[in-house]
């Protein structure tokens, strides 16, 4: 097959064209055309991906859990998977704290830039942060995340992509119950879920044909909104100045994500799987690219599942259990970013955080990342919980909103990489990893 017919190359081309077109659109004031005629294709692509998120999680988890057929095996795999997810997230937060405390990006922020940025993003932040999620997040008790996880109405939780954790909970319950009924009752129900899963995966492949155009439109949207100043004037200097001022903060997040990927994921793969590092990255590359361009690990899930199954050789049983669970509860990149962002905002507002506060960050960031929806921008909303927990004014998120989209792309890529790495480790530990020959 010619290289340009491969989907991941088409996605890369879509991204590069989106970048070029976005800058040109801001420069030559074609933004209206872009908004009217290009951006909607990005929205259509995102809608299609979100559309299949609920059926995918439901059918994959129910079929995944039920196909384990043996309750002992299920609790063993579930224990290992959840344990590994939580452990990697806690390490991610710790790495984030170490990096941000060494680089001290907040202390380097020039006072006037800080004031300007604060004023500019204040209104924006107020809008985002006063959303219902943030408001209720503020009033939560310590066990509220647990209560929120248990829905009182199945259709209520399946009717919105924001209630993914509830859907995971219900799917796991249905799967566990299915394992325990007689096979006479289990088989027909399981066949329906497996059939539905096959249909959903077919839909995924159909939707992915649109990915290059969708990605082009999404990147165009991001760049035009970053590069256009007030009154629709091209404001390329502005992005330069803001990115420059927040550069250290971004660098801290990027270094943290890279360290986490190298130390934790590559370490896990090296020690616990026979996979070569290059083989791993080649296999999950398309999922990483999609995570990068959509900023949504939920939207990327179908592709992560396909790549892990077909290219890494993890069994269907493992991918359908480990990955949907991971897309929902395992967000190492998000947790790491939340730790860096919380300390950055504290530093920028002249506060110093003691050990107790740093420990609070570890605990709340692990919990917040579990509860973060796998959609773009969810991480910054959950950041409010962490800021409130350490008494840092949550309005401080105004400072980092401008660069959030770019960091969202990077942290989502890490989130997806983490899910795939854990999937490979679990598959291998269950003797269900058969990498296809290169």
Quote the CA–CA distance of 133 and 340 in Å, as a whole number: 21
C-beta closer to ligand ASP: residue 88 or 428: 88
Give the total residue count for the chain.
438
Confirm or reject binding of residue 386 to ligand ASP (CB under 6 A): no
Considering the rule CB under 6 A, would residue 46 count as an interface residue with ligand ASP? no
Stretch that binds ligand ASP, among 122-130, 144-152, 193-201, 373-381 (CB under 6 A): 373-381
Judged by DSSP in three states, 433 sits in: strand
Using CB atoms within 10 A of its CB, is residue 395 exposed (0-12), middle (13-18) or buried (19+)?
middle
* Contact pick of 94, 279, 347, 412 for ligand ASP (by CB under 6 A): 412
Least Å distance, CB 382 to ligand ASP, is 8
Asked if residue 411 binds ligand ASP (CB under 6 A), the reply is: yes
* Size of the residue set binding ligand ASP (CB under 6 A): 17
User: Does residue 376 touch ligand ASP according to CB under 6 A?
Assistant: yes
Q: Which is nearer to ligand ASP, 284 or 375 (CB)?
A: 375
User: How far is Cα 394 from Cα 386, in angstroms, rounded to an integer?
Assistant: 9
Q: Which residue is nearest to ligand ASP (CB)?
A: 379
- Tell me which of 285, 377, 388, 405 binds ligand ASP, using CB under 6 A: 377
Q: How many CB atoms lie within 10 A of CB 299?
A: 29
Region from 34-42, 103-111, 261-269, 371-379 binding ligand ASP, contact rule CB under 6 A: 371-379
CA distance 103 to 411: 19
Distance CA 204, CA 49 (A): 8
3-state SS, residue 278? helix
CA–CA separation, 12 and 182 (whole Å): 49
**In this complex, which beta carbon is closest to ligand ASP, that of residue 296 or of residue 318?**
296
Shortest Å distance, C-beta 320 to ligand ASP: 19
* Cα-based angle 383, 120, 256 (whole degrees, multiple of 5): 40
Is residue 283 within 8 Å of 6, Cβ to Cβ?
Answer: no
Interactions with ligand ASP, residue window 301-340 (CB under 6 A): 331, 334
Nearer to ligand ASP, 59 or 334 (CB): 334
Least distance from ligand ASP to the Cβ atom of residue 377, Å: 5
Is the CB of 179 or the CB of 336 nearer to ligand ASP?
Answer: 336
Binds ligand ASP by CB under 6 A, chosen from 57, 301, 343, 378 = 378
Q: Is residue 159 helix, strand or coil?
A: coil
Instruction: Give the C-alpha separation, 229 to 126, whole Å.
Output: 19
CA distance 294 to 156: 26
Contact footprint for ligand ASP (CB under 6 A):
295-298, 331, 334, 372, 374-379, 408, 411-412, 415
């Amino acid at each position: 097959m010619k290289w340009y017919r491969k989907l991941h190359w088409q996605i890369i081309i879509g991204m590069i064209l989106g970048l070029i077109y976005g800058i040109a659109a801001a420069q030559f004031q074609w933004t209206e055309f872009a908004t009217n005629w290009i951006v909607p294709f990005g929205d259509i692509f995102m809608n299609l991906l979100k559309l299949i998120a609920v059926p995918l999680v439901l059918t994959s988890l129910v079929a995944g859990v039920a196909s384990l057929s043996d309750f002992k095996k299920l609790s063993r795999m579930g224990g290992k998977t959840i344990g590994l997810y939580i452990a990697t997230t806690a390490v991610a937060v710790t790495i984030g704290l170490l990096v941000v405390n060494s680089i001290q990006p907040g202390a380097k922020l020039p006072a006037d830039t800080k004031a300007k940025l604060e004023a500019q993003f204040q209104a924006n932040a107020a809008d985002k942060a006063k959303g219902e999620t943030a408001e209720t997040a503020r009033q939560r008790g310590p066990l509220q995340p647990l209560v929120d996880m248990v829905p009182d109405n199945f259709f209520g939780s399946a009717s919105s992509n924001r209630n993914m954790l509830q859907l995971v909970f219900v799917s796991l319950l249905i799967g566990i119950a299915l394992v325990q009924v007689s096979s006479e009752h289990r088989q027909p129900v399981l066949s329906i879920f497996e059939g539905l899963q096959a249909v959903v995966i077919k839909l995924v492949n159909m939707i992915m044909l649109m990915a290059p155009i969708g990605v082009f439109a999404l990147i165009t949207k991001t760049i035009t909104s970053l590069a256009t100043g007030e009154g629709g004037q091209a404001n390329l200097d502005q992005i330069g100045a803001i990115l420059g001022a927040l550069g250290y903060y971004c660098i801290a997040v990027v270094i943290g994500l890279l360290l986490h990927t190298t130390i934790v994921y590559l370490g896990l793969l090296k020690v616990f799987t026979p996979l070569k590092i290059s083989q791993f990255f080649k296999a999950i590359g398309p999922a990483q690219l999609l995570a990068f361009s959509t900023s949504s690990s939920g939207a990327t899930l179908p592709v992560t599942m396909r790549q892990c199954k077909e290219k890494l050789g993890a069994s269907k049983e493992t991918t359908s259990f480990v990955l949907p669970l991971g897309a929902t509860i395992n967000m190492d990149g998000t947790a790491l970013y939340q730790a860096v962002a919380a300390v950055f905002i504290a530093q920028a507002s002249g506060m110093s955080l003691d050990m107790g506060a740093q420990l609070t960050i570890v605990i709340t960031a692990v919990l917040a990342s579990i509860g973060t929806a796998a959609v773009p921008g969810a991480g910054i909303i959950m950041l409010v919980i962490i800021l409130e927990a350490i008494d840092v004014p949550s309005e401080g998120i105004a400072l980092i909103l401008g660069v959030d989209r770019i960091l969202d792309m990077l942290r989502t890529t890490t989130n997806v990489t983490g899910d795939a790495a854990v999937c490979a480790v679990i598959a291998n530990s269950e003797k269900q990893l058969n990498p296809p020959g290169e």
